[in-house]
């Protein structure tokens, strides 16, 4: 079986130690966790956690079963890209001298990036997109000189049953 990235969301109790217990479960079971994001959701006292797990279909089923057993977890969903909207936020800081500034701004416009900070020697861009699109932006800006990248990790929401 081939390994790939799987997106899982979990509705959990928003209590001290919940994220620690979830990440410990991944560590103990040796699941490959690519990213984990948590935040408040539509229900008071609960949070929604988005996890990206690398593995085959068997690993995914095992991971969902283990999460479902966790006392902090109310609901687990395996999301694929056909039934969900998935996005990531990235800040990309690029060296910008007189010659490169125009090229950076052109790339930002074409790739739908927002300029969030300008300095005499750098430009900081914000990109909200699918991870593959962010990878494309990084590939275009790398030859110019990226000084720093910060990525949020994936968040996802189910859009169809």
DSSP annotation string for 102-143: HHHHHHHHHTT-EEEEEETTEEEEEEEE-HHHHHHHHHHHTT
| Residue 115: partners with Cβ closer than 8 Å, 6 or more residues away | 105, 108, 123, 124, 125, 126
Alpha-carbon span 82 to 97, nearest angstrom: 42
Beta-sheet pairing, 122-129 with 4-13: unpaired
Chain centroid, CA 30 distance in Å: 20
Alpha-carbon span 93 to 125, nearest angstrom: 6
The pTM for the full model equals: 0.85
Range list for CATH 3.30.70.260 in the chain: 4-79
Range list for CATH 3.30.70.1150 in the chain: 85-158
Classified by CATH at the fold level, domain 85-158 comes out as Alpha-Beta Plaits (3.30.70)
Domain 4-79: CATH architecture, name and number where available: 2-Layer Sandwich (3.30)
pLDDT at 161: 64
Largest Cα separation within the chain, whole Å, is 57
pLDDT at 157: 92
Quick check: 155 and 35 in contact, CB under 8 A? no
> How would you write the pLDDT of the chain (161 residues) with one tens digit per residue?
678 899 999 999 999 999 999 999 988 888 889 999 999 999 999 999 999 999 888 888 999 999 999 999 999 999 977 889 999 999 999 999 989 999 999 999 999 999 999 999 999 999 999 999 999 999 999 999 999 999 999 999 998 76
pLDDT at 150: 98
Tell me which DSSP letter residue 61 carries.
Answer: H
Nearest to 113 by CA among 132, 96, 133: 133
């Amino acid at each position: 079986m081939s390994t790939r990235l799987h997106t899982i969301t979990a509705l959990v109790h928003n209590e001290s130690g919940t994220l620690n217990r979830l990440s410990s479960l991944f560590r103990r079971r040796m699941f490959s966790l690519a990213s984990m994001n948590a935040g408040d959701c539509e229900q008071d006292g609960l949070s929604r956690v988005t996890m990206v797990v690398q593995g085959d279909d068997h690993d995914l089923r095992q991971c969902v079963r283990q999460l479902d057993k966790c006392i902090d977890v109310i609901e687990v969903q395996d999301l694929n890209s056909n039934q969900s909207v998935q996005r990531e936020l990235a800040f990309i800081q690029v060296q910008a001298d007189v010659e490169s500034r125009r090229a950076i701004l052109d790339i930002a416009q074409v790739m739908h990036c927002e300029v969030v900070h300008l300095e005499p020697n750098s430009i900081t861009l914000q990109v909200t997109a699918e991870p593959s699109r962010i990878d494309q932006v990084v590939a275009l800006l790398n030859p110019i000189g990226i000084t720093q990248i910060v990525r949020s990790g994936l968040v996802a929401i189910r859009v169809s049953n």
